[in-house]
Structure 1
């Protein structure tokens, strides 16, 4: 690398504020900043100047093409690259990039999921430059972050509802701040810092697993003799090969201005985590999409494959994505910072209670934010938060809310100092509250950590839902406080009412326990166990009203996302079932037949000697293998019939999704169990698939 220091590397491939300030005329720079900071429309003449400066900068960096980079409802990113060249009459070329090309693109909208918004013959769609997220260079291409909408204006992507929700939350939060005397803030920004979990396995092993290639998870696989039970992988010394991958990943991320901060081994063998410093929600979302893409790309350079599926290996911890979410003003005030005496911080308590109220009232939408087929394997599996949505506050804040409910808060519990008992070690400042890794939505000092989201998901969905439901709580709070004749008294009364009505959502105990499931049921909290159960929340009347009130998604847009989500579930399980059948019929069954034949030949060979030798071991083994093989073949046929029946099903998407969950997924589990038993019996030399031990420990 040409750069020598981290400060030289960081953001070197980003058209960021410092580059804009250096390369744009002062008037153009100010006009663009007004668009970014205040949402003022960008004049075409300004766009023209920006486009030319952006092109010159990109070409100096080696770029030959540009692309509008967007996030359709596939969950991954999309791009179409165009070169900067424009032919001239004398057979030469010049480089051009206009303001119009910067601001607007026209991808084929009918080729992306639309949930019925676009027919095949209705192809036109538009991408629009999101100037709040900086352009960057990757693969000799200038990437322009954009939003994606249909010809009729409906959102066809993950970014538009996120941007809308950010504006909605800002609008309502400013109303509340104004009541507390803050008139300097012009914007409230939702800030997000995602923690990305992932697995790395050797590519040679991966290439032999059709299930990993086609579905991202193992559809067969017996538990390894050793898994994670020794607890020796979490935070352990990072292997040299993995460390080399992490180093390259950091450098590539830093070039793109992505503040990769923390890296370590996770709980499961071959599992790791990368955390980034918080950023504005839409930029953090863009950065996380890039992070996932680069993880996969850079892993291949090291002969590795990065697995982002929520549960690539049964029986060991899966991967999630913890989203650290907060609200800050444009002048730097974190609205979820309690300060040293939170019981006296009325503004903080109002924003805290707004979040608690939102999570309780819209728990079904919060659950949708984490609903994917892959995440169904992980949630509630004693490794991740349960499917029951609850809020952890810790001792200090819980105590303050109890005081408020009982008449008024007068004290805040303090952490004090922790003495370890070794004279050479310093006394440690002790936090006033412990942490709770079993909580799906935990307060962690000055932010909430949403821990339910799956590792492969875009964080945009979770964030637009959090933003919108909190915007609604703040809207209701502002409506009430704006009418108050005695503001201080009304604040105290309001806080007391919110605590009494919504304290059921607060739980500081063990979210993994069966006792909590029973307790949650008593409290009336929903336990939405599967993605199929969660999806209908998108079209519930109260949720449609919420999204339409704040201009985040229309009823039509929500209905399209409902259909897309069900279709994604159906297609995912169908692909998994077909892949499982292929592996079972073409790889496992022939291997088992081969093994049974060898045992039979061994028995016949011994008998042919005429010696009176005990062959009961071989006979019993042949009987066991034959019995399991027969059962395996029978269940292959049953799964095959179920898949065929599903393909011929008519009716609505929800009924079909239920069939895939209740029938096909169940039959897949039965077939897997038999296949896994066979793996533990069949000769390792004959077994066609790398085992869990091979994949998890052979790096």
Structure 2
């Protein structure tokens, strides 16, 4: 089958709905999807019947409400379509009520104190704006997940709320500028997904990869990524076959997988889709991550989506390309050919700049997890300091605005390569900056801090909310203006002057930028633990509750959930490190030293006056490192036990895990990694970095 035949074949998409639904039902459902009108239960009943028939024709036997709890992965409970009849047979049924609402047990999902263990009831609600699809012989219905008392227990609900908030405020701005064609504003996202592939047989021999997703031990191989030969390199046959099958699986689910290539680190790769509406893009990205893992297993591979599976080589991120667009296709972040004259664009641009500056801490939180702590600021990913790259053209326009008014725009011109057979190329108006966490890239912003394992829902509901807040403030000032041009210019000048500190077009990896950012007063939140409390800062809870995205109680619950996740993650890593060190590494080193000592004794017993200084020095070095390893293992055991026994204050417990347990894990690793370089490779008990990164 061709890609055009495959694409969307397993999706109850617009074309399928138009074909299978009565015209009145289709129009009513489209109004709900496009205009946010309430869903009529009678419409849901007709849709459910058509959806069931379509799913059964395509091999589905079950249906599931598919949701995204605070675990970081998706959840699903499958029910069959069968319904018993009085004659001992079954019929296939699926009602509108079953489509609209499900009742999964909410007590076993993270709630941060919103629900007690005995309070089990939760609800899933159909998100009709995200198409249903078929996977593994089940009809998957994208849903939101909330508690019996209505609080959000998932990642989708605040995202949907934030989209409504931004739509409301952006429409106010459009009306101010006389836009009468747009009916609503959506945010769009195209999330690029980085990942590693390793051989499954080697993965199965690494308990750290199995339990934590990253290697807790491993000395650097002779060759890493320094030759820069893997980036965009030709695909190995095994990898190419994997990517081909993955593309086809994704296309069938309506996921527009567009770009695939080798990334910078050995064994690292990337997939990039075409952008789509934010909640659909979020659903698609969760599906993409899931299918990456499943398809990999069919090829004898394992897909690693941890932010830093291997120390010393690049980690993986998820570049979140975010923009705003109207229902009639106008990109509100499109500068046009003369952006200095485009007042509407400049208002939206400056509103984003102001939002990022005023709520940098919230944006930093949205990219915070234990894995990303290894990645951010490691000369491979943006630093933990939030800044915006605008490029020469827009920076120049904002400078003009601050100094009295923009009158011109720099153009890119043509790039002449100097080879007569090659055509001159139109040159972009600005370069790109891969060190910037939040970079303008032509008609969108690329938020590069998001970690590869994270749901993009968090980053996008924060972005939507903070931009909605600034747009609401701008609309309050401009609505009813008697001289719109004058008031817009005055407002733009004020915003540029107050928030230009967050604009930085230079090298975000440099030490000088850290110093400069501190002078500018920009926050530098270096760890997840330090980021989590910003969620319950009064300013941040206020903006989230004002726009109905998260209530104070929901903020407080997510604060607890994030701390609990950090604590559990580091505790699992520490326990895994202890098990591997005690039961694999130490015995292997002892076996090596025993063999070495026996060889020294054997040589001495021959009576030959041979020089055994090399063996003796090696035995001394290995024994010394083993002694240090054992001491550090003992300390790690003690501090891990102490950390686990701390109760009552999750934040202090998380700090102890970060500052003491994690630090001690690093000490244990240093000894083990040194021993790996000394011990006979045949005796070393776990696959090495050389094996994992280059044996595919």
| Residue of structure 1 equivalent to 2:55 | 58
Report 1:40-439 matches (<5 A): 40-439=37-436
C-alpha separation in 2, matches of 1:455 and 1:441: 16
| Residue of structure 2 equivalent to 1:697 | 694
Deviations 1:21-76 (A, max 9, x none): 10011111111111111222222221111101000000000000000000000010
Match of 1:540 among 529, 537, 540: 537
Deviation at 1:483, TM superposition (A): 4.0
Deviations 1:541-567 (A, max 9, x none): 000110111000000000000000000
Deviation at 1:350, TM superposition (A): 0.3
Deviation at 1:189, TM superposition (A): 0.4
Moved over 6 A (4+): none
Deviation at 1:647, TM superposition (A): 1.4
Deviations 1:159-203 (A, max 9, x none): 000000000000000000100000221110000000000000100
SS of alignment partner, residue 143 of structure 1: strand
SS of alignment partner, residue 116 of structure 1: coil
C-alpha separation in 2, matches of 1:224 and 1:479: 59
1:456 aligns to 2:456 (yes or no): no
C-alpha separation in 1, matches of 2:95 and 2:70: 28
Deviation at 1:691, TM superposition (A): 0.5
| Residue of structure 1 equivalent to 2:659 | 662
- TM-score of the two chains, using structure 2 as the length reference: 1.00
| Residue of structure 2 equivalent to 1:622 | 619
SS of alignment partner, residue 137 of structure 1: strand
Deviation at 1:485, TM superposition (A): 2.2
SS of alignment partner, residue 600 of structure 1: helix
1:680 aligns to 2:677 (yes or no): yes
Alpha-carbon RMSD: 0.5
Deviations 1:432-462 (A, max 9, x none): 1000000000000000000000000000000
Deviation at 1:484, TM superposition (A): 2.4
Deviations 1:366-399 (A, max 9, x none): 0001000000000000000000000000000000
C-alpha separation in 1, matches of 2:647 and 2:234: 54
C-alpha separation in 1, matches of 2:118 and 2:230: 53
Deviation at 1:111, TM superposition (A): 0.6
Deviation at 1:158, TM superposition (A): 0.3
| Residue of structure 2 equivalent to 1:490 | 487
SS of alignment partner, residue 309 of structure 2: coil
Deviations 1:406-447 (A, max 9, x none): 000001000000000001101000001000000000000000
C-alpha separation in 2, matches of 1:366 and 1:141: 36
Deviation at 1:651, TM superposition (A): 2.7
SS of alignment partner, residue 464 of structure 1: helix
SS of alignment partner, residue 128 of structure 1: strand
Deviations 1:90-121 (A, max 9, x none): 11111000000000000001110000001110
C-alpha separation in 1, matches of 2:347 and 2:587: 65
C-alpha separation in 2, matches of 1:449 and 1:41: 33
Give the number of equivalent residue pairs: 696
| Residue of structure 2 equivalent to 1:581 | 578
Deviation at 1:276, TM superposition (A): 0.3
C-alpha separation in 2, matches of 1:567 and 1:155: 18
Deviation at 1:134, TM superposition (A): 0.1
Match of 2:590 among 574, 589, 593: 593
| Residue of structure 2 equivalent to 1:557 | 554
- TM-score of the two chains, using structure 1 as the length reference: 0.99
SS of alignment partner, residue 321 of structure 1: coil
Match of 1:446 among 443, 446, 468: 443
| Residue of structure 1 equivalent to 2:640 | 643
| Residue of structure 2 equivalent to 1:14 | 11
C-alpha separation in 2, matches of 1:242 and 1:657: 39
Deviations 1:566-611 (A, max 9, x none): 0000000000000000000000000000000000000010011011
SS of alignment partner, residue 110 of structure 1: coil
Deviations 1:227-259 (A, max 9, x none): 000000000001100000000000000000000
Deviation at 1:5, TM superposition (A): 1.5
Gaps of 5+ in 1: none
SS of alignment partner, residue 308 of structure 2: coil
Gaps of 5+ in 2: none
Deviation at 1:77, TM superposition (A): 0.1
